[in-house]
Chains A and B, each alone.
Chain A
Amino acid sequence: MEEIQIVAFRLDNEEYGVNILNVQEIIRPTEITRVPKAPAYITGVINLRGNVIPVMNLRQRFGIQGEMQNDSNTRIIILNLQDVNIGIFVDSVSEVIRLSGEEIEEPNLVEALDDKFVQAVGKYNGRLIILLDLNQLLDVNNEKAHTLSSRSE
Chain B
Amino acid sequence: MNKNEYLDLFFEETREHLQLLNEGLLKIEQNPADEEPINEIFRAAHTIKGMAATMGFEQITELTHKMENLLGKIRDKELNFSSDISDLLFKCVDTLEQMINNIDENKEIEIAHLINQLTNFEKADPQKENQIKEETNSLNEYENKVIIEAQKQNLNVFKCVINVSPECVMKAVRVFMVFKSLEEIGEIIKSIPNSQDLEDEKFDNQFTVYLVTNKGSNEVENIINSISEISLEKIELAGMDNEKMIPSGNLGKQETKDKSVNSTTKIHQTVRVDINKLDNLMNLVGELVINKTRLEDIIKTNDMKALTETVEQIDRITSELQNVVMNVRMVPIEQVFNRFPRMVRDLCKDLGKEIRLIMEGKETELDRTVIDEIGDPLVHLLRNAIDHGIESPDIRVRRGKEREGTLKLIARQEGKSVVIIVQDNGQGISIEKIKQKALEKGLYTAKELDQMDNNSIINLIFSAGFSTAETITDVSGRGVGLDVVKSKIQALSGSVYVESKEGEGTKFTIKLPLTLAIIQALLVKVGLEIYAIPLANIDETTVIEDSLIKNIQGQEVMVLRGKVLPLIRLSKVLDVKITQELETNELYVVVVRKGDKQVGLVVNELIGQQEIVITSLGKLLSGIPGIAGAAILGDGKVSLILDIGSLF
A residues lining the B interface (CB < 8 Å)? 31, 33-38, 42, 44-47, 50-54, 83-86, 138, 140
Whether, in the assembled complex, B636 has its beta carbon less than 8 Å from a beta carbon of chain A, the answer is yes
Q: Across the interface, which residues of B come within 8 angstroms of A84, CB to CB?
A: 618-620
Which B residues are CB-close (under 8 A) to A51?
Answer: 615
The reply to whether B618 and A36 form a contact with Cβ atoms under 8 Å apart is no
Q: Find out whether the CB atom of A33 lies under 8 angstroms from the CB atom of B639.
A: yes
Q: Number of B residues contacting the other chain (C-beta, 8 Å)?
A: 23
Given A50-B632, A52-B632, the answer on whether A33 and B620 have CB atoms closer than 8 Å is no
- Do B636 and A35 have beta carbons less than 8 Å apart? no
CA distance A45 to B574 in the complex (A): 15
Q: Which residue of A lies closest to B642 (CB)?
A: A36
- A36–B575 CB distance below 8 A: yes
Instruction: From the candidates A37, A47, A83, name the one contacting B626 in the complex (CB within 8 A).
Output: A37
**A35 interface neighbour in B616, B619, B627, B632, Cβ under 8 Å:** B627
Would you list which residues of chain B between 587 and 623 have a CB under 8 Å from chain A? 615-621
Q: Mark B506-547, 1 if CB is under 8 A from A, else 0.
A: 000000000000000000000001000000000000000000
- Which residues of A are found within 8 Å of B618, using beta-carbon distances? 52-54, 84-86
The interface residues of chain A lying within 8 Å CB-to-CB of B640 are: 33, 35-36
B624-A46 in contact (CB<8A): no
Q: Which residues on B sit within 8 Å (CB–CB) of A38?
A: 621, 624
Question: In the complex, which residues of chain A have a beta carbon less than 8 angstroms from the beta carbon of B574?
Answer: 36-37
Closest 7 CB pairs of A and B: A36-B574, A33-B638, A52-B630, A52-B615, A47-B638, A47-B632, A45-B638
Shortest CB distance B311–A (Å)? 17
Report the Cα distance A137→B79, complex, angstroms.
69
Query: Which residues does chain A contribute within 8 Å of B616, judged by CB atoms?
Result: 52
Residues of A within 8 A of B625 (CB): 37
CB neighbours (8 Å) of B615 from chain A are 50-52
Whether B620 lies near A35 (C-beta < 8 A) is no
Selected from B529, B576, B638, the residue in CB contact (under 8 A) with A52 is B638
A37 to chain B, nearest CB (A): 5
Q: Which residues of B contact A138 (CB under 8 A)?
A: 620
The CA of A54 and the CA of B630, in the complex, are separated in Å by 11
Provide a sorted-by-A list of 17 A–B residue pairs whose CB atoms are within 8 angstroms: A31-B637, A33-B630, A33-B637, A33-B640, A34-B529, A36-B626, A36-B627, A36-B640, A37-B574, A37-B624, A42-B621, A45-B621, A47-B636, A50-B632, A53-B618, A54-B618, A84-B620
The listed residue with most A CB atoms (<10 A of its CB), out of B621, B627, B636, B637, is B621
> Is A140's CB under 8 angstroms from B620's CB?
yes
A54 to B637, CA, bound (A): 13
Inter-chain pairs besides A37-B575, A47-B638, A50-B615, 4 sampled, C-beta below 8 Å? A36-B574, A36-B576, A54-B620, A86-B620
Chain B nearest CB, measured from A108 CB (Å): 29
Closest to B619 in A: A84
In the bound complex, residues from chain B placing their C-beta under 8 Å from that of A34 are 529
| Contact bitstring B556-575, A, C-beta under 8 A = 1, else 0 | 00000000000000000111
